[in-house]
Amino acid sequence: MLEPRFGGGVLLLWLLLVPRMVESAIGVNWGTISSHRLKPTTVVALLRQNKISKVKLFEADSDVMKALMGSAIQVMVGIPNEMLPLLSSSPAAADLWVRQNVSVYVGRGGADIRYVAVGNEPFLSSYNGQYQNLIMPAILNIQQSLVKANLAGYIKLVVPCNADAYQSSALPSQGTFRPELTQIMSQLVQFLNSNGSPFVVNIYPFLSLYNNGDFPQEYAFFEGTTHAVQDGSNVYTNAFEGNYDTLVAALTKLGYGQMPIVIGEIGWPSDGAIGANITAAKVFNQGLINHIASNKGTPLRPNAPPTDVYLFSLLDEGAKSTLPGNFERHWGIFSFDGQAKYPLNLLLGNKELKNARNVEYLPSRWCVANPSGDLNDVVNHIRLACSVADCTTLNYGGSCNEIGEKGNISYAFNSYYQLQMQDSRSCNFDGLGMVTFLDPSVGDCHFLVGVTDKGSDSSTSQTMAPSHQWWTLVLLLILHGTFLLSM
């Protein structure tokens, strides 16, 4: 474990003397639920190559935090929803969390942690209020812990909210928070305002299009539309502005119409569903970036764009749940191995994305269907392979959906084979698979080659990190309580 480098008073003085950027900036979300995970140091180098100065994390993964130390990249670190019951009920747990996940990494030469995100979309309607009453107690406990650590003047608490926290019958100006959230939102925005924190919201025009067959496709983008929304004297030509101003209206009704807003997540997937493709992802993300850079703002906030915008996401995450849709694994502007999917100008100094360097790949070989094998009994093998590996590109709307039956079988076999680090036994499939040194990729359907992750934790431990961290806190609290009782 890394030790803090300064005493609390000296640390606070150093933090307050560091100049803070206040202009609107493009950042990225860095998720780690991946079957083929790049080394965190490789990802940090990728961020720096692309001059990305802000990153949002969903948890305080120790390898990631260590890699970010000394990088000058501003960090928003998240607390998983699963930890809210403990952190809301125990100030000691909050102290431990801050000590283990914040204090230990900050200081000269450390990680530049600017925000702690308490929960992730905790007011999502599908949670049925599960976390609703835990947010404010957790925030107050974490805030006190930051005060004790002399960090509260520098590190701000936020709560990333899904756009379903607010609603409008038809027009952005009629926006209000959901009735059952009015009280908690009033408390939350009052806290955010008094502590100089922004309101963080996740906006997904793609999901509006995906979930609503009547949604006008062109309204999801920034290229103009024949389905503009007229709201009094204001005209909305894209879903982002309409959604954003619905939030502005909801905040105004609570008395906080000027509260700074940060876009915590926004993007477009490149595979896994109809409408999720490389072309659409490029058009949406470039349109968004250009819109933010223009500083024109929105009708309710002219010339005042969001404080920051975090693209979702940096890398594909091939082990994410597909419950919302197969596209969930394909949000990255980079593929899992840090290779740019399409030209994108982030307007940060490079005209196009730069690929990750020094990626350590497995050998160039693939597992495919044996042409001499009897493939009539292959269904169970495919089911096994795809229950472990990512086969979402094979589904309707995916980039590998139209490569034929043998192509589908080969893709499933290879995905499993690469996940098993090319163990020769994993390409057997009762004699139905064979290893080839010829790339079987077809058109836009790319057969992957896995990456090695020597020097970092295994993919399994990474995907289980939040629950592991939760149990570590519980154990420490038990030991802490035992120690107090013995005094």
Question: pLDDT digit string (tens) for 159-193?
Answer: 999 999 999 888 999 999 999 999 999 999 999 99
Q: What sign does the CA torsion over 288, 281, 354, 106 have?
A: positive
Q: Is this model's pTM higher than 0.85 or not?
A: yes
Domain boundaries, the chain: 25-334, 366-436
For residues 119-127, give the mean pLDDT. 97
Question: In this predicted structure, what is the pLDDT of residue 475?
Answer: 52
Question: pLDDT digit string (tens) for 284-316?
Answer: 999 999 999 999 999 999 999 999 999 999 999
Label the pairing between strands 366-369 and 433-436. antiparallel
pLDDT at residue 464 above 50?
no
Both tokens of residue 338?
């840090």
For residues 97-114, give the mean pLDDT. 97
pLDDT at residue 442 above 50?
yes
CA 117 to each of CA 193, 276, 306: distance values in angstroms, whole numbers, following the listed order? 15, 28, 17
User: Which residues have C-beta within 8 Å of that of residue 412, sequence separation ≥ 6?
Assistant: 381, 382, 385, 386, 389, 391, 394
> Which CATH fold topology does 25-334 show?
TIM Barrel (3.20.20)
Name the active-site residue from 59, 265, 317, 328: 265
Question: In this predicted structure, what is the pLDDT of residue 470?
Answer: 53
Name the active-site residue from 121, 241, 317, 328: 121
% of the chain surpassing 90 pLDDT: 85
Beta bridge partners of 100: none
Both tokens of residue 312?
């979702």
pLDDT at residue 20 above 50?
no
Count CB atoms within 10 A of the CB of residue 402.
Answer: 14
454: confidence class by pLDDT, cuts 50, 70, 90: low
Does residue 265 have an active-site annotation? yes
Does residue 23 have an active-site annotation? no
278: confidence class by pLDDT, cuts 50, 70, 90: very high
473: confidence class by pLDDT, cuts 50, 70, 90: low
Q: Higher model confidence: residue 378 or residue 170?
A: 378
